[in-house]
Amino acid sequence: MHHHLIREIGGRKHKEIYELIRRHGTVSKIDLLEQSGMTGSTLTRTLEELTAQNWLLEAGYGESTGGRRPILYQTNPKAGYVFGLDISRLHTKLILCDLHLNRLDAANWLMDESLTPGRLLPEIAQTAQTMLKSHGIPSDAVLGMGIGAVGPLDRVSGTILEPLHFPAAGWRNVEVTGYFSERLGFPVLLDNGANTALIGESWSDRNRDYRHLLYVHVGVGIRSSMMSNGKVVYGAVDMEGSNGQMIIQTDGPRLGDHGNYGCLETFASIHAIEQQAQARLKQGRSSLLLTLEDHPEKINFSHLVQALRQNDPLTVEIFTQAATFFGIGLSNLLNILHPEKVILGGPLISSHPSLFQTATRVAIRNTYHYPTYQVVFSQGHLGEEALVTGAAIMVIDQLTEV
């Protein structure tokens, strides 16, 4: 296995100044002096060196506060390029960005039973090479590729272990980082998609300094991640999907033949909703769903979303029930983790505004210490793009890792 190391920016002072400028977008020397606590001469030298190395650009002049107008600095977007890759159960997305996260190119694969790792990975590698060629970017100008994938996975060895519910076979013990770094010749980092989504959301909201964030994504499974003091929290094993195993009803049903009985995923996931709908229709309930598909067992999530948007009473009831159970699971997380801000994403939450409202209302009602403990709920800024954006950001973050 080739282990390529990600380029990094000089010494600790260089890293600190680069990171300050990156967070602000455009910033004057005066503000940098104040925030870095460096002496004027050290700061001047650091800025000159970073500019000479092409990491920074002088971006014109700020407003005069009496005397000369201050020089403004920003990071150089063309100092390097990054790929972000999101490998999920429904879609896989690849983006190519500059260091300001301007998107230069993007590709999308609809995951079906044909997209085994043996077929998908070579296609992704080929697409990445084509993107670089069409934008005239040499591969040594690429800092790396960040991958956010469905867990469980092993970040250190860069392996996707054994995720459930992939449409295609073969997604077990797939060494993705080794494969891509060998094919493409630049560094590759892997983390689970819930963590990269949280990295993306946290970056897009960096002007509000939330230190403790929780991200929960409800779709085929329930994926979650947590940040404390601005850093992703890692357990002893990859825990991306484990919140879905939280037990809500000890003697409850379970989906398929795995997982806990009566766990959250059994009540609040795409499969759970499909099963509920099929069961109710078999009981003889009337519904718009029967105009979309004549046989109850053929009803799937896309039919349900369609009926929900047309306010079909049975469908509204089923979704509301799932959102309520999800709210109960969420209150358990809030009672344990006490985040300042919670970002909810995924097809279950985004399919209708009422679902976010139901879930958050139930969560607050069951959270201890309310109203002294206040939490902010959000659907995020990036929606389904959070995972792939965060995967790209993860590589840029390495520039200033101390």
Tell me what percent of the residues of the chain surpass a pLDDT of 70. 97
Summarize pLDDT for 136-169 with one digit per residue, the tens: 999 999 999 999 999 889 999 999 998 888 899 9
Summarize pLDDT for 261-320 with one digit per residue, the tens: 888 888 888 989 999 999 999 998 989 888 888 888 889 999 999 999 999 999 999 999
Q: What's the whole-model pTM score?
A: 0.89
Same fold, 80-200+386-400 and 208-379: yes
What string of H, E and C letters represents the secondary structure of the chain?
CCCCCCCCCCCHHHHHHHHHHHHHCCEEHHHHHHHHCCCHHHHHHHHHHHHHCCCEEEEEECCCCCCCCCEEEEECHHHCEEEEEEECCCEEEEEEEECCCCEEEEEEEECCCCCCHHHHHHHHHHHHHHHHHHCCCCHHHEEEEEEEECCCEECCCCEECCCCCCCCCCCCCEEHHHHHHHHHCCCEEEEEHHHHHHHHHHHHCCCCCCCCEEEEEECCCEEEEEEECCEECCCCCCCCCHHHHCECCCCCCCCCCCCCCCEHHHHCCHHHHHHHHHHHHHCCCCCCHHHHCCCHHHCCHHHHHHHHHCCCHHHHHHHHHHHHHHHHHHHHHHHHHCCCEEEEECHHHHCCHHHHHHHHHHHHHCCCCCCCCCCEEECCCCHHHHHHHHHHHHHHHHHHCC
Fold classification of 80-200+386-400 is Nucleotidyltransferase; domain 5 (3.30.420)
Second CATH level (architecture) for the domain 12-78: Orthogonal Bundle (1.10)
Fold classification of 208-379 is Nucleotidyltransferase; domain 5 (3.30.420)
Q: Does the structure show a pLDDT above 50 at 2?
A: no
Summarize pLDDT for 26-41 with one digit per residue, the tens: 999 889 999 998 988 9
